[in-house]
Amino acid sequence: MTLRVLVPTAQFAQAIRGPEIEAIVWHINDSPEDALAADVLVTERPREFENRARVGSIPGLRHVHLLSIGSDWILGHMPAAVTLSNSRGAVEDATAEHGMALILAALRELPTAAVQQRRHDWAPLWTSSLHGSVVLVLGYGGVGKELFSRLEPFRPAALIPVASGARVLDDGRQIHGTVELPELLPQADVVVVTLPHNDSTAHLVDANFLARMKDGALLVNIGRGPVVDTDALLAELSSGRLRAALDVTDPEPLPADHPLWDAPGCLITPHMAGNTAEFVRLATEITVEQLGRISRGEAPLHLVE
């Protein structure tokens, strides 16, 4: 039996096409027509909120495979009995790498240097650094672990991993629980959020959380926008007490007239942490493997409950 698969690009269609797979190019955000009947949808997260519901109107759908780790956007739109998988293993490195870029760019004042370059203004800057800083990583899943390993060679004064529950790893590393945040936050020069969005993490980074961060500290978010209370963050940025580097925001996409764009000390990238050629290569490999398993009647990898 031929497996009918909706894919977002012709590149994916070429990669997965085979004797038992019919690839149909259909992009959940950009294709104006309704989706044709299909067994599997391979999709990225739609940019426009209203397009998320299109998942529920695909005739014959049996499985959705996400070109990402995060699945919060789709859970409320999944038809009954349709299974869901993600691209775990393809995006963690790219996201951690982008997190490092945001941290270093913000600490070393690269946005300010870029403005000076456009003005032809040779004015050397004195900056903070990752070397000698205390860095708290909030979230110790796939992305958090990859970020942690990249931070270590920069010789921070301390690295503090925090997860939902405290535990000690086999190598003796202490993972702190979120209940310890009130005591840990005042120590950190940099706080990096790598958490997914769910009921337990929504607005975890709220006014009380931010108030406990030390003056001049940097908040980096490479997890999900709704983990951070945007209004509370805006208040701290507007006062000049904290800085931020954000790849994700709430709302998202960030409206052109939103005050976060112009908030002092805030560096913003448009949810692009996973957007690399290497991610596409790895995600394509995972997708091909997934479709092969489904066509053979085997359980898909990386199922999301």
Q: Active-site positions? A: 224, 252, 271
Structure tokens at 269: 């990238």
One-letter amino acid identity for 42?
V
**Beta strand pairing call for 243-246 and 266-268:** parallel
Structure tokens at 223: 């997890």
3-state helix, strand, coil in the chain (%, to 5): 35, 20, 45
One-letter amino acid identity for 178?
T
Alpha-carbon distance 81 to 103, whole Å?
A: 42
Three-state secondary structure of 23-58: EEECCCCCCCCCCCCCCEEEECCCCCHHHHHHHHHC
| Contact indicator for 304, 71 with CB cutoff of 8 Å | yes
Structure tokens at 122: 């040779």
C-beta pairs of 37-41 under 8 Å, 24+ apart in sequence: 37/4, 38/4, 38/5, 38/6, 39/3, 39/4, 39/5, 39/63, 39/294, 40/3, 40/4, 40/5, 40/6, 40/64, 40/65, 40/291, 40/294, 41/5, 41/6, 41/65
